[in-house]
Amino acid sequence: MKGFFSYKITGLNLDFLIEKLKKGGIPLYLLKKEDKKTLIITTSAKTEKKLFAITKGLCYNIIKIGESGVFNLKEFFVKRLSLIIFASLFLFSTFLFRNFVVKIEVFGTGYSKREEIKRVLEENGVKEFSFFTADTKTIETKILKTGDFSFCSVEKKGNRLKINALLTKKEVVKEKSYALFSNTDGKIISLKVFKGTAVKKVGDFVNKGEEIVLGYELINEEKKEVFVLAEVKIETENKAEFIFTKEVEEELILEILKEEFAEDLVIERINFTKTDDKYEYTVEFKSYFTLSVGG
Amino acid sequence: MNFIENILSKLGLNESLAPLKYRAVIFGESGLFIENVKSIVSFSNTEILVRLKKGEILIKGEDLKVKNYTGFDLYVLGKVKEFSHR
């Protein structure tokens, strides 16, 4: 601790005393003469004994009038009481809330089943805005026990609980298929097969529900089951009739067709007949459907 | 290079060739600093007489007080009105 003492020195020839103290190796600070016979000085607390040793036998009255610096521990703490209280509260709250969970985050393919994960957590007393008292390993085991996940890791980072979960294979492939079927009657105009075996080719006509690609591949003359990864574009020929009370533009007809049939379509022919107060339109058009599976 | 050495360099003064009797910096009416002080001859609120190795410096002002007096350095606080070397 480094501190300073302030003294009030009274006597004659104070300039002589200043020089004597300085020559004695006492660093002097804040020298002030209140009057001709009174001097205020501040020196290092360490040199207190030295100061009195030098002035011993001299005719000076020396009174200690104050302490300053970090020497005075009590004063140091009193002055910084609010700061110390604030720092203590901060440290205490940090210590107290280190186990507090603010958010639960689920990553990986298990995200789709995050509600299931949260249910398991809640059963173990873990939920958002609560204290985390459970063991991460226990929770991992319990999540895996549901049978929906092949991997699970639970990690607490700060006030967040991060869960990385992967669905079991049967869950992942749920949306995959072993065949690509046509959903309409029409002609195949493009066919891309990345996995599987095509049983139709471009130019073939297919009926609704007919298989286009099957989920197997021939490897060394051996049939191996695979999930189909393919895309097909089917062209259908259609005819539609409209009756309007007034004459309409082709754009309006196209708009209605797009809304009713398919986004991708081309009008081939429009036949228009006018009766007394009716306008009849017969429209021949081609619509295109793209189907894909896998990927 | 410290503050004073920087000034000396700008003035083109070389202390190794011609040593200075003292070095002083006056900070407006707030205080001053003197190097090479041998002793304080007299000291009051309005006047400080400082002895150098060669000569003396008289500082006159108001509410003068010695902020720091260690070694050969003297720091004076107060409204400095007059500074003279003799």
pLDDT at A172: 42
Sign of CA dihedral A84, A85, A91, A92: positive
Judging contacts by C-beta atoms under 8 Å, the chain B residues touching residue A28 are 66, 68-70
User: What are the Cα distances from residue A10, in Å, to A32, A38, A53, A64, B58?
Assistant: 12, 4, 17, 12, 24
Confidence of residue B2 (pLDDT cuts 50, 70, 90): confident
Q: What is the nearest CA distance from B36 to chain A, expressed in angstroms?
A: 14
- Whether residue A251 is found in the same domain as residue A226: no
The number of residues in chain A equals 295
Task: Give the position of tokens 């900070």.
Answer: B27
Kindly state whether B83 is in contact with chain A, defined as any CB-CB distance less than 8 angstroms. no
A25 touches chain B (CB under 8 A): no
Q: Is the dihedral of CA A197, A203, A205, A209 positive or negative?
A: positive
The pLDDT of residue B22 is above 90: no
Low-confidence ranges of chain A (pLDDT < 50): 170-174
For residue A30, give the nearest of B40, B42, B65 by CB distance: B65
Query: Which residue do the tokens 């809640």 mark?
Result: A122
**How much is the pLDDT for A270?**
87
Spatial separation of the C-alpha atoms in residues B44 and A34, rounded to whole Å:
8
Mutual orientation of helices A14-23 and A48-55 as an angle, nearest 10°?
130
Residue keyed to tokens 């009008």: A267
DSSP-assigned beta bridge partners for residue A271: A282
**pLDDT for B27-61, tens place per residue?**
888 899 998 898 888 888 899 999 998 889 999 99
Sign for the CA dihedral angle at A151, A156, A157, A163 comes to: positive
Q: Does residue A47 contact residue A29 with C-beta atoms inside 8 Å? A: no
Nearest CA-CA distance, residue B12 and chain A, Å: 34
Name the residue type at position B60. Answer: K
Is A79 inside any structural domain? no
- In this structure, is residue A84 part of a structural domain? no
What is the Cα–Cα distance from B37 to B85, expressed in whole angstroms? 12
Eight-state DSSP code of residue A40? E
What is the per-residue pLDDT for A157?
81
> pLDDT value at position A63?
92
Give this prediction's pTM.
0.42
A92 domain residue, yes or no: no
Q: Are A11 and A59 in contact (CB under 8 A)?
A: yes
| Inter-chain residue contact A22 with B44, CB threshold 8 Å | no
At position A20, the amino acid (one-letter code) is K
> A262 phi and psi, to 5 degrees?
-155, 155
Rounding to the nearest 10 degrees, give the CA dihedral for residues A22, A28, A33, A34: -140
Give the domain CATH number at A125. 3.10.20.310
Give the model confidence (pLDDT) of A217-235 as tens digits. 888 778 888 888 888 888 9
| Assigned CATH class of B21-85 | mainly beta
Domain definitions of chain B by residue range: 21-85
Nearest CA in chain A to B45: A33
- Most B CBs within 10 Å, among A4, A15, A26, A38, to test the B interface: A15
Residues in chain B within 8 Å Cβ distance of A30 = 65-67
Alpha-carbon gap: A25 to the closest alpha carbon of chain B (Å):
8
Same domain (yes/no): A240, A225: no
Give dist(CA A6, CA A31) in Å, integer: 10
Strands (E), A58-159: 61-69, 100-101, 103-107, 130-131, 149-157
- Residue A198: CA count within 13 A, CB half-sphere: 14
Max Cα–Cα distance, chain A, nearest Å: 139
Among A36, A33, A47, A35, which Cα is nearest to A2's? A47
Contacts of A263 (CB under 8 A, 6+ apart): none
Give the residue numbers spanning the domain of A240. Answer: 235-289
Which of A9, A22, A41 would best serve as a mutation to test chain B binding (most B beta carbons within 10 A)? A22
Please check whether residue A135 lies inside any domain of the structure. Answer: yes
Provide the shortest C-alpha distance from residue B63 to chain A (in Å).
9
What DSSP designation does A84 have? Answer: H
Domain count, chain A: 4
Q: Which residues of chain A does B65 touch, with a Cβ-Cβ cutoff of 8 Å?
A: 30-33
What pLDDT is stored for residue A170 in this prediction?
45
Q: What is the C-alpha separation between B40 and B66, in angstroms, rounded?
A: 10
Quick check: is A152 in a domain?
Answer: yes
CB contact under 8 A, B67 and A28: no
Task: Give pLDDT, residue A72.
Answer: 62
What are residue A179's DSSP bridge partners?
A214
Instruction: Select the residue of A19, A22, A31 nearest B65 (Cβ to Cβ).
Output: A31
